[in-house]
Structure 1
Amino acid sequence: MRNETLVPQGCWQNAKGAFVPLTTIKMEHQEEDALVKEIVESARFLNQALSKFKVDALGNVQAFRELIAEKYGAKKGGKKGNMTLLSYDGTLAVQVAISEHISFGAELEAAKALIDQCISKWSEGANANLQVLVDDAFDVDKEGKISTTRVLALRRSSIEDADWQRAMDAIADAMRVTGSKTYLRIYERDPMTGLQTPISLDLAAV
């Protein structure tokens, strides 16, 4: 059970936990307190409403997916559950996208060693640029993490070399899916211009 401090009547509790008589608190500070509490209360309401909206929308999409699967014996959607639903006129779209969080295991060190061997045995010149890209891909950020995007970009390089291919296999073996997040995106297309714009549910974008 949470301990709640009993504030004496006619007092407010400040940030240090002290009780301050209301009569000594400046009016602008009282008005600021009221404004902050009003905005936070509205934000909590919107947060709960958005949470319910996402749960309801994803639930309805999943129900539709199961309906299609039951009717045709196949799932509607793409790789890893990604799918886009369209209105009949094509002006409205609901997109469900699943993003996986990937980390790398010990095999990544072997991949880096194999790649370095490849670069050292190849002729100089253009490979100096490749060395920069490789070093950049395996460099860690401020949190000590390797950029997943940069490492995986190396696998898109079409290099016919046995050691390079072994290195790419080592990267694949090093990959660990540590979690996933489901995104719900909604779009509206202007029938006159054909321009598709997102219906933003992000405070910073509205």
Structure 2
Amino acid sequence: MDIVEAGPQAGVEIIKDKLFWINHKGGYTADELVKPKDKLEDQTVRKIIKFARELSDQVARFKIHTMSDLAALDQLVAEQYGFVKAGNKGKGNRTYMTYDGLFKVTVQVADFMDFGAELQIAKALIDECLTEWAADSRPEIQTIVTRAFNTDQEGKVNRSEILMLLRLAITDPRWLKAMDAIRDAQRPRSSKEYVRFAMRESSATDSWTAITVDMARA
């Protein structure tokens, strides 16, 4: 076929001066065979997606400017205390607020980590404990352990439940070794900063109202 004009982003192709719609299998459907309802739905979705992509790009640019402004502020504050370092920026969770207490920007840092082979050793040691304790072990401990080593939708163990095991006051030597193995198994993968915005209506005693800007995926 001799393609006169290609427009995959538009969902149509002009082939030998005739309009064809690209279907979900990548094939072509003649314009007269496409139902008016399907044409209207296609047009509506493409219009919405166009605006969504523009907003997404705008939010991404806003995030870059926001983090740049906060980094500059962090540097100025650091210099006041005699700490000067190129590229210095705030670390960890922090909150910035206007003088009148009506607006605030909060930066929260989430750490992501994986677990190494030591985790399987920990599980084996914990299983030994549970097997021996069987009748005497509390049901809630068995539940916590089961939840911890159950994988989520992505096939990964539940990190928060795994770390909860470290809080249990169990003194069995095998359990303590298992907890050491869990600590050694932690592999920091990455961290991500989330920025939250909030405001008060008119007084510093008013409740905070969130200003919703989803920058988590930007």
TM range (shorter): 0.7 to 0.9
TM-score, structure 2 normalization: 0.76
Deviation at 1:32, TM superposition (A): 3.2
Distance 1:128 1:91 in 2: 48
Q: 1:195 aligns with which of 207, 211, 214?
A: 207
The aligned counterpart of 2:53 is 44
Distance 1:113 1:29 in 2: 56
Q: 2:167 aligns with which of 156, 170, 175?
A: 156
Counterpart of 1:42, as a letter, is F
Alignment gaps of 5+ in structure 2: 8-12
Deviation at 1:188, TM superposition (A): 1.7
1:59 aligns with 2:68: yes
Distance 1:37 1:123 in 2: 59
Counterpart of 2:149, as a letter, is F
Alignment gaps of 5+ in structure 1: none
Distance 2:197 2:101 in 1: 13
Deviation at 1:38, TM superposition (A): 1.9
> What root-mean-square deviation, in Å, do the aligned CA atoms of Structure 1 and Structure 2 show?
2.9
Distance 1:138 1:67 in 2: 46
The aligned counterpart of 2:19 is 11
Deviation at 1:63, TM superposition (A): 1.3
Q: CA 1:17/1:126 → structure 2, altered by over 3 Å: closer, same or farther?
A: closer
Counterpart of 1:67, as a letter, is L
Distance 1:137 1:119 in 2: 14
Partners of 1:85 and 1:95 within 8 A in 2: yes
Distance 1:62 1:51 in 2: 17
Identity of aligned residues (%): 37
- Within-5 A mapping of 1:175-186: 175-186=186-197
Deviation at 1:158, TM superposition (A): 2.9
Q: 1:139 aligns with which of 150, 153, 163?
A: 150
Counterpart of 2:110, as a letter, is S
